[in-house]
Amino acid sequence: METIESRIGKVEKQAQSGGDKVAKRMLGILQRYREVLNQGLSARTVEWDNKDDMKLARELFLLTNKPVLYVCNVDEASAKDGNAHVEAVRKAIAAENAQLLVVAAKTESEIAELETYEERQMFLQEIGLEESGVNRLIKSSYALLNLQTYFTTGPDESRAWTFVKGTKAPQAAGIIHTDFEKGFIRAEVIKYEDYIRYRTDAACKEAGKLSVEGKDYVVQDGDILHFRFNV
């Protein structure tokens, strides 16, 4: 609220001068936030339809505008469907534009002690879950932050690279090294499901599952990429 009030004082003068369109737009944003905060609600509850408004709103860096994930720790019996406490939290945050996840920490610690993937899956099936709470937490966090993953793989190692959803191939290449982006020529792309099925680059190529993409290609979650570049 202090941030909002301080900015309103400065922007109001600029907006009243008549010529500063950005100041007028910012003043409207600040007044909307003040209205919401005065009601005891978080800044997250305000939604902007206009991209310019969104950009200006983000520049305020309001604490309650940051994405939030509430994690409810429950007993094993409540791991699948939650319980009355979870519903109480869900009701309390209904107007917050926040996400909620249910995990059973004690159960998760028991799953972590199992040695094989098969044992872990069997344990999960017995309590009615498809995947562990840790996996769901990671996925929910990535989705909340608008993040995805692509892979690079070779004879020595395979690596995962995190990128913002909507990133194009040259910028994705730049995550590995700036030279990759500067000298980007093309990206050779294999979809994750195809790589799992055919196992190697050569087999994917032979099956027609390797595509060559240019600078406008938007990288997809799970893509296996090989960048061609020249610096």
pLDDT, tens digit (0-9, with 9 covering 90-100), for 61-87: 999 999 999 999 999 999 999 999 999
Same domain, 48 and 111: no
Domain boundary among 31, 49, 65: 65
Any residues with CB less than 8 A from the CB of 102 and at least 6 apart, and which? 71, 72, 74, 78, 79, 82, 86, 133
Q: Which pLDDT belongs to residue 70?
A: 97
pTM equals 0.83
Q: Which pLDDT belongs to residue 85?
A: 98
Residues of the chain with pLDDT under 70: 18
Same domain, 213 and 156: yes
> For residues 141 and 34, what is the distance between their CA atoms, to the nearest angstrom?
28
Q: Which pLDDT belongs to residue 95?
A: 86
Domain boundary among 111, 144, 177: 144
Q: What residue numbers bound the domain in which 22 lies?
A: 2-65
Same domain, 155 and 218: yes
Mean pLDDT of the chain: 94
Q: Which pLDDT belongs to residue 17?
A: 78
Domain count for the chain: 3
Same domain, 10 and 57: yes
Domain boundary among 30, 45, 65: 65
Give me 206's structure tokens: 């032979």
Same domain, 79 and 94: yes
To 10 degrees, the CA torsion angle through 173, 176, 177, 181? 10
Q: Which pLDDT belongs to residue 231?
A: 87
Q: Which residues share a beta bridge with 229?
A: 184
